[in-house]
């Protein structure tokens, strides 16, 4: 029988995360405050605890994974590396397709890889409460699980339209003991202002971020948790790629190309960055971030300083952006609708070390269904983006006869996204390419950085 799954022992779980900053050709551009100067740790300490900030600003290559974090990781990690042989056969490709199955976590995605250390590090800093925001609920459910593991209270501002239309991720958060509020609420200035303007405001991710950040900034016992974009979140996710490297090494295989969905960047960074170390050392490996054509941040956006949130509460970060006031169409891959991208991913893309490709929505669901029918697992819509790009490459290999090794991050399952599959199967999904004119116009609304 073919070895379809490469399993690591618990003792083989990585002991350190990999910090790509150590291998970047240039140091990362600093986040800037309203005065145009790099933000001070004191400013960041309003919403993040010390141990989190230390990781955020570190340039050390290896950062230890605390033992209590590894103990919680051990509930589902190391995750399997699987060969998708049945998909290869269905495609008739000489390419070999491997994937890392991150859907086996309690929350069903890679997100707990960062939620767990965030909860633990805050606990160590004496923090009793956390706040966060969530849209469709992947991050909110992951942080609910993680804070429950360490006895931290969690309040989640969930975009009201999702709160009402997608109750099951909310139930999941509540099962893990979190308090979930429909945002906008009347508990913050940002929420009250929005409700005063429109009592029926359906909420938005930007507004929910503002509420969660405002509450954390106003309470000494409370800190904020973010699920992507920032350096420390990307760092935590590298456990994916580090495990994958060990697994490939066990079977004497090395991937030619690595694919992962890219929204805020932590999914892609987690799978790809550990391989970038080899690339920096001369290894020929291509790292491909896959984004939706409806939110084409890397492939169509501007490389410029912009805010991380809609309201402009956060520091300005140098990144690819469609403009902080970008209103992404409501595609089903909620995790890929962010206007910007991680500054680290952006800089590496700018410097040519990583590639990016955009794929349209309907084709991503076609890829997800093809994968499910070959390999069993029904993937999350975000993961379908990587699968689409992998299938496209595998079909190119079929033309050329190249037996490339393709690796992708199966970042989550689609159990809470079946309504989207339903719409796809009923022929009701549509493609949407964000208009070039709107992207061009966003350039003129980017914040002015004081000299």
| Residues lying near a second copy in the complex (CB under 8 A) | 1-5, 7, 9-11, 67, 70-72, 74-76, 82, 86, 104-106, 108, 145, 148-149, 167-168, 171-172, 174-177, 369, 372-373, 375-378, 415-416, 418-419, 421-422, 425
C-beta of 416: minimal distance to a second copy in Å?
A: 7
Secondary structure (3-state) at 13: coil
387 with 407: CB under 8 angstroms?
no
Secondary structure (3-state) at 328: coil
Interior angle at CA 227, CA 226 and CA 229, nearest 5? 85
Q: Which distant-in-sequence residues (6+ apart) come within 8 Å of 310 by Cβ?
A: 204, 205, 206, 207, 209, 210, 324, 325, 339
| Residue number with CB closer to a second copy (1 or 281) | 1
Pairing of strands 179-183, 153-159: parallel
C-beta of 339: minimal distance to a second copy in Å?
A: 30
Distance CA 106, CA 92 (A): 34
**Beta pairing partners, 410:** 101
| Residue number with CB closer to a second copy (84 or 295) | 84
| Residue number with CB closer to a second copy (419 or 443) | 419
| Residue number with CB closer to a second copy (6 or 269) | 6
C-beta of 338: minimal distance to a second copy in Å?
A: 25
Give me the helices (H) in 125-264, please.
138-150, 160-165, 167-175, 189-197, 205-218, 231-250
C-beta of 74: minimal distance to a second copy in Å?
A: 5
* Phi, psi at 98, each rounded to 5°: -120, 150
How many angstroms separate the Cα of 153 from the Cα of each of 105, 209, 250, 412? 21, 18, 41, 25
C-beta of 301: minimal distance to a second copy in Å?
A: 33
Interior angle at CA 349, CA 322 and CA 398, nearest 5? 105
C-beta of 75: minimal distance to a second copy in Å?
A: 5
| Residue number with CB closer to a second copy (282 or 376) | 376
| Residue number with CB closer to a second copy (45 or 75) | 75
C-beta of 420: minimal distance to a second copy in Å?
A: 9
| Residue number with CB closer to a second copy (174 or 201) | 174
Q: Which distant-in-sequence residues (6+ apart) come within 8 Å of 167 by Cβ?
A: none
| Residue number with CB closer to a second copy (221 or 422) | 422
185 with 157: CB under 8 angstroms?
yes
C-beta of 448: minimal distance to a second copy in Å?
A: 46
Closest C-alpha among 78, 104, 65 to residue 7: 78
């Amino acid at each position: 029988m073919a070895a379809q799954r490469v399993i690591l022992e618990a003792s083989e779980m990585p002991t350190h995360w990999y910090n790509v900053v150590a291998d970047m050709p240039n140091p990362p551009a600093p986040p800037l405050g309203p005065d145009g100067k790099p933000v001070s740790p004191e400013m960041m300490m309003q919403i993040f605890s010390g141990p989190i900030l230390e990781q955020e600003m570190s340039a050390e290559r290896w950062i230890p994974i605390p033992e209590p974090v590894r103990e919680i990781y051990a509930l589902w990690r190391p995750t399997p590396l699987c060969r998708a042989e049945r998909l290869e056969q269905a495609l008739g490709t000489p390419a070999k397709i491997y994937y890392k199955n991150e859907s086996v976590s309690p929350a069903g995605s890679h997100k707990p890889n960062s939620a767990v250390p965030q909860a633990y590090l805050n606990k160590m800093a004496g923090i009793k409460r956390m706040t966060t925001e969530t849209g469709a609920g992947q991050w909110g459910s992951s942080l609910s699980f993680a804070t429950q593991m360490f006895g931290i209270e969690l309040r989640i501002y969930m975009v009201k339209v999702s709160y009402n239309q997608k109750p099951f991720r909310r139930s999941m958060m509540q099962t893990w003991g979190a308090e979930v509020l429909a945002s906008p609420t009347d508990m913050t200035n940002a929420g009250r202002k929005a409700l005063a303007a429109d009592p029926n405001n359906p909420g938005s991710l930007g507004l929910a971020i503002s509420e969660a950040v405002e509450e954390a900034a106003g309470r000494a016992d409370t800190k904020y948790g973010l699920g992507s974009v920032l350096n420390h979140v990307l760092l935590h996710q590298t456990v994916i790629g580090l495990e994958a490297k060990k697994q490939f090494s066990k079977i004497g295989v090395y991937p030619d190309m690595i694919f992962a969905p890219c929204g805020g960047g932590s999914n892609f960074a987690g799978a790809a960055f550990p391989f970038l170390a080899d690339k920096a050392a001369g290894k020929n490996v291509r790292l491909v971030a896959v984004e939706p054509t409806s939110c084409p941040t890397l492939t169509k956006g501007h490389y410029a300083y912009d805010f991380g949130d809609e309201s402009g509460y956060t520091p300005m970060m140098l990144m690819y952006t469609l403009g902080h006031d970008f209103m992404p169409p409501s595609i089903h891959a909620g995790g890929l609708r962010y206007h910007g991208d991680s500054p680290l991913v952006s800089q590496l893309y700018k410097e040519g070390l990583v590639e990016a490709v955009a794929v349209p929505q309907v084709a991503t669901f076609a890829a997800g269904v093809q994968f499910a029918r070959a390999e069993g697992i029904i993937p999350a819509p975000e993961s379908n983006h990587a699968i689409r790009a992998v299938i496209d490459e595998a079909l190119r290999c079929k033309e050329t006869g190249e037996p490339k090794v393709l690796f992708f991050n199966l970042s989550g399952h689609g159990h809470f996204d079946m309504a989207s599959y339903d719409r796809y199967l009923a022929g009701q999904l549509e493609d949407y390419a964000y208009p070039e004119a709107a992207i061009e116009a966003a350039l003129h609304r980017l914040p002015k950085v004081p000299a």
